[in-house]
Structure formats: C-alpha cells, structure tokens
Amino acid sequence: MSEVQQSKSTSVSEGETLVEINDLKTYYGDGGLIDSTPVKAVDGVSLEIKRGETLGLVGESGCGKSTLGRTLIQLEEATSGEVLFDGTDITELSGQELKNWRRNSQMVFQDPESSLNDRMTVGEIIREPLDVHDWKTPRERREHVRELLDVVGLQPEHYYRYPHQFSGGQRQRIGIARALALEPEFIVLDEPVSALDVSVQAQILNLLEDLQEEFGLTYLFIAHDLSVVRHICDRVAVMYLGHIMELGPSDELFEEPKNPYTISLLSAIPDPDPTSSRERITLRGTPPSPRDPPKGCPFSTRCPMKIRPEEFRDADDDLWLNIEIFREVVRARTRADRSVTDQVKELLGMETRFSDIGEIQQELFADIDIPRDIEQHIDEATGYIENNDDQQAREYLRDVFGSVCDSDSPGDNVVSNSGRFSHCHRHLDEYDEPDEFTPYANR
C-alpha cells in the first residue's frame, strides 16, 4: 500500500509545471448597456499543466472550454486571476513583452474550413506568423515553411496552392504547421478533430502525438467527445458552467469517476462491456445560463446525487424529484426576460406558458402522495408567483428545500493518491452517504 502511494506521488512531482492557473475568471460583456449581467464563461479555475503533458479539457458545449483556452494564450483578456507561464503572470503583459511571449503559445482551431484565409496560399498562411515576428531572413522563412510542410505530412508543391483545394484533414495539417512555425512550447488544441471524418481523426491524432514527442510540446486538448480524450491525454479536466469539476489522470478518471458530473457524462458513453451493470444517467434539462449560475455548486440544479436537507431525508424519491423539477421551473421563470414575455402577451392577447404556475403544480404534484408540510411550502411558493414575485418564490424554495449544494460552493477535494480532485460536497465525511449515492435522475 505505502509503496503504491510513494511511487504515485513521485511520478506526479517529477513533472515540472509549465502553466499555473490561479482562480482565473473570464467574463464577457460586463457593464454593457443592454444587459449589464456578465456571462461568467470561466468562473474561478485553478489548475496546473505539466511540461510535456497533454491535459484534456472536456465538457458540454458552452461550458467555457474555448474561453479558458483562449485566455491561456491571451486571445481573451482575463477578468481576474493569474496565468503563470514559467512563473510569469502573462495576464499582466502588454506591448512588446506580450508580443515576444506570444511566440511560445499557439492555438489550433476546430474548424479548418473557416480558420484559414482562403485568399492566401498555403505557404503564405504558414509563413504569416514568421513575418509578423520578423523571424530570421525571408529566405530562411521560406525554407522553414517547406520543412514544416514536410513535418505535417504535406508536399513541397502545396506551398503555392490555396486552402480550398484541400480536404478537411489536410487543412487541419496546414493549421497545425502554422501553429508550429514559431516553435512554441505550448499549444491549445481546440477540438482539433471534431469537424473531421472518423477515419481522418485518427491520422491527425497520430500526427499530434508524433509532433509532441519530436518537439517536446505541451498540449491543452479541448474536446466534447470523451472517447477521443481518453487515449491521447495524460490527465483530464472536466468542466461545467465555468468550473473544473474533476481533474486527474485519464485512466483513473475514466475507470472510477468520483464527481457526479463526470459519472453522468461517462454514463452516456456506450459501455463496450456487455456484463457491465453500469447505469445510464440521463441528466434532465440543460445547464443553467452562465449569466445566472446557481449560488452553491454549479451542478446543483441537475445533480443526480444532490444532498437533501436532513428533515427531508425520508421523503419519497419521486416526490423529491418533482420538487427539484418545480424548483427548476421557478428558476427558469426568474431567468426569463419578463419584458419580452409581456410584449408577447400584449401582442397576441394570450396567456403565455409563464402564467400557468397552478397548472404546473397540478401536473407535478396532483397524483403524488404529498405530506402536508411539503404541500404547504409548495403552495406558498405558488402564491408568490401568482403575485408576480418569482424571485421571492425561488428564494423561498431554496430556503426550505435547499441543502449545502444550493448554498455553498464545494471545495476541490483530493480524492485519490494521484492528487486527483473533485469539486463536490459528497466527499466530505459529514455528507458521505454511500447508500444514497445512487443516481435518481432516471425515474
């Protein structure tokens, strides 16, 4: 036992840190005239990327992956927090210092159709960053571009062709050659194979692995497809609504996910083992708006393993699920743009779906055995809504039915010897209830 622990911890400390991110936040559009609530695309991320590793970044579309990647290479300005490269906070750089630093970090984009300028030849596209940085002599630049074509598996005569003459896979090779031109240490790969046919995906992934070995590159590999990430990444970070929910070595995280969100995501991948008893978890609804994230845990509105308040531990599971759904309906109402709804009402002279809370209550609770105290709370909330006070209803329901998941942001709890962490209250002793740690989302 102690031997295992030792060897694991040595192997982790062996890796030297290249990038250290501390409480990084990137918000869009705060202080705008139309809507002053910012989109909290990245909302307090802390992690490290080791030199020479591939760190995977996965999560549903819109969770903030591209924004995080773009902030790391300063294509997006951080709202707060630090991004340290070899100890230098690059969010503080500007002018010539920033320009010099930019050579070290590049990005490969998802869509090879739109990310290459169709009016430039392939040679010009790959050479452009060299020109911008006044790299060596023009003659050496041309030579370097020819080498790069060879390195990514393209032909010398491709130099004078135009991107539209190439297939998706070849275009992605052009994008990769361009990213390599200034000999960077770090590359953000933003869904580099998502737009490609499956047969071409493997070729590009192999190329990326070969290049990493040859040039000692460090990758942040962004994907929404978990199965791609498993084999190419050393460690994986799982992102949800601007937060990292779990981060650890790929194999461990795939074999024994600890965070309820990771568990849910993985359960959606078909299990090749026919004897497996793994349960498929279908998450209800969609993630909340990043303009209005939940107060406590970011995953609390959809978590299939959410902690219940003590006094309702014995409530019927189906009833409890409907209470959670009712709360989500109320949340959605507070999020909706009331003025738009009212306009529609005025224009059409009809009631919209936002006015029939009584019907929704019927739908959810009429056929269920509901204890008197719970029913009273639901009635009270419905009353607030009938008085047009959705916000008060939302807060009332949170006070009555909410748990630590609704009120407090979970910390990053270390969940294995490898230093893997998970952002969930369930890992604390006081909430660890193995018997209840079963998903109830499928009912």
Site residues (vs Mg ion, CB under 5 A): 66
CA distance 118 to 137: 25
Task: Output the smallest distance, CB 58 to ligand ADP, in A.
Answer: 9
Task: Select from 15, 44, 62, 309 the one that contacts ligand ADP (CB under 6 A).
Answer: 62
Q: Tell me the C-alpha to C-alpha distance, in Å, between residue 196 and each of 5, 188, 204, 295.
A: 41, 18, 9, 38
Q: Phi and psi for 102 in degrees, rounded to 5?
A: -55, -25
CA distance 162 to 331: 51
Q: Tell me the C-alpha to C-alpha distance, in Å, between residue 300 and each of 148, 323, 442.
A: 48, 14, 16
| Interface mask toward ligand ADP for 151-180; x: CB under 6 A | ------------------------------
Query: Is 10 a residue that touches ligand ADP (CB under 6 A)?
Result: no
The residue (of 21 and 374) whose beta carbon lies closer to ligand ADP is: 21
Using the contact rule CB under 6 A, the part of the chain among 63-71, 133-141, 321-329, 352-360 near ligand ADP is 63-71
Query: Is 41 a residue that touches ligand ADP (CB under 6 A)?
Result: yes
Question: Please, what is the Cα angle at 16 between 13 and 22, to 5 degrees?
Answer: 95
Task: Output the smallest distance, CB 139 to Mg ion, in A.
Answer: 38
Using CA atoms in the order 48, 50, 53, 58, what is the torsion angle rounded to 10 degrees? 0
Which partner from the list ligand ADP, Mg ion, none does 29 bind, CB cut-off 5 to 8 Å by kind?
ligand ADP
CA distance 323 to 319: 6
The residue (of 42 and 181) whose beta carbon lies closer to ligand ADP is: 42
Using the contact rule CB under 6 A, the part of the chain among 65-73, 138-146, 253-261, 400-408 near ligand ADP is 65-73
Query: Is 67 a residue that touches ligand ADP (CB under 6 A)?
Result: yes
Query: Is 195 a residue that touches ligand ADP (CB under 6 A)?
Result: no
Q: Phi and psi for 263 in degrees, rounded to 5?
A: -60, -45
SS3 427: helix
Task: Output the smallest distance, CB 41 to ligand ADP, in A.
Answer: 4
| Chain residues in the site for ligand ADP (CB under 6 A) | 28-29, 39, 41, 59, 61-67, 290
